Structure 1
Amino acid sequence: MKIFVMRHGEAEFHASSDKSRQLTVRGRLQVETKAKSILCLLSEVDIILHSSYTRAKQTAEIMADTLKLKDVEELEHWTPDSDPRNAISSLEGVVDRTPLIVTHMPLISYVEALLCDGNMVSPAGFNCAEIVQIEAEWPAIGLGFNAIRF
């Protein structure tokens, strides 16, 4: 299976809560530009999953519009402080699909490291609107390979 994991676009710094932070104008532009520039690479995506945080939902909506996808769902295990093991396990329900998951730092770094390296010793950072494509026979620790970032 192919798994695409994306960090949300740039978000405002101040809001009533971290969960309610919205994308900035620049953040919306980052996501729109990314989506349009790699549209052909995302042609297999058939479902978009996102965290419950506003900025992730807004990013997912922009991606869905660009990809012309209607299948967009919120997942509870993909917030910034979620356990990356639970996030990975939540993908077992979409093994027959090609998901794009919109999430946050540091979770995205830990998920990539666990899937591809089998540990979280040295997770790499992600820029806003950056995407990693990971291939895996099954969404489980250490089973990811061919990680490509764009």
Structure 2
Amino acid sequence: MNLILWRHAEAEDIAATDLARQLTTRGRKQAQNVARWLRSRLDEDAVVIASPATRTVQTAEALSDQYRVVRDIAPGASAGDILSAAGWPHGIASTVVVVGHQPTLGEVAALLLTGNGENSWAVKKSGLWWFESRERNGHDQAVLRAVMSPDLV
């Protein structure tokens, strides 16, 4: 399974509610650029899931109009909620793109690479971390395939 953690792009600071915050003009460009990089590397059957926040939905829409909104990965979700929604390590699909939030995505990255999800690693706005699951000696492992920052595409 491939698990891609994609943080939403830059969003406005103020809105009626946190979930209603929209991408800024810069955020839309970030999302489009990262989506272009990602799209050329994804399998056609990749599943995209997004938090119900407007900014994550808008980020996901830069990649595809085929995405699922999953309430369980809204702001404040746990690392376990993200992994459960994606079906890690065997997957709800061979590739799952999770469009979500900090600090949760950073907690997932820390958990997958160190086994300790108590810390949160920095994931830039519109940045992504790409993991692959594999089995070695009867144990599931996470392999980091790529880390992409929007200023590198």
Structure 2 match to 1:84: 79
Identify which of 122, 145, 148 aligns with 2:143: 145
Structure with the higher fraction of residues in helix conformation? 1
Work out whether residues 45 and 99 of structure 1, in 8 Å CA contact, stay in contact via their aligned partners in 2.
Answer: no
Given the superposition, is the C-alpha separation of residues 39 and 86 from structure 1 closer, same or farther in structure 2, using an over 3 Å criterion? closer
- What stretches of structure 1 move > 6 A for 4+ residues in a row? none
Deviates most, 42-51 or 28-37: 42-51
Q: How does 1:1-150 map to 2 (within 5 A)?
A: 1-43=1-43, 46-64=46-64, 70=66, 72-92=67-87, 94-137=91-134, 143-150=141-148
Q: What residue ranges of structure 2 are gaps of 5+ in the alignment?
A: 149-153
Structure 1 Cα separation of the partners of residues 84 and 92 of structure 2: 11
CA shift, 1:116, in A, is 2.0
Question: C-alpha root-mean-square deviation of aligned residues, in Å?
Answer: 2.1
Give the TM-score of the pair, scaled to structure 1: 0.84
CA shift, 1:78, in A, is 1.5
CA shift, 1:44, in A, is 5.5
Work out whether residues 116 and 147 of structure 1, in 8 Å CA contact, stay in contact via their aligned partners in 2.
Answer: no
Q: What residue ranges of structure 1 are gaps of 5+ in the alignment?
A: none
User: Residue type of the partner of 1:148?
Assistant: A
Equivalenced residue count is: 142
Structure with the higher fraction of residues in strand conformation? 2
Give the TM-score of the pair, scaled to structure 2: 0.82
Structure 1 Cα separation of the partners of residues 4 and 45 of structure 2: 8
Work out whether residues 48 and 68 of structure 2, in 8 Å CA contact, stay in contact via their aligned partners in 1.
Answer: yes
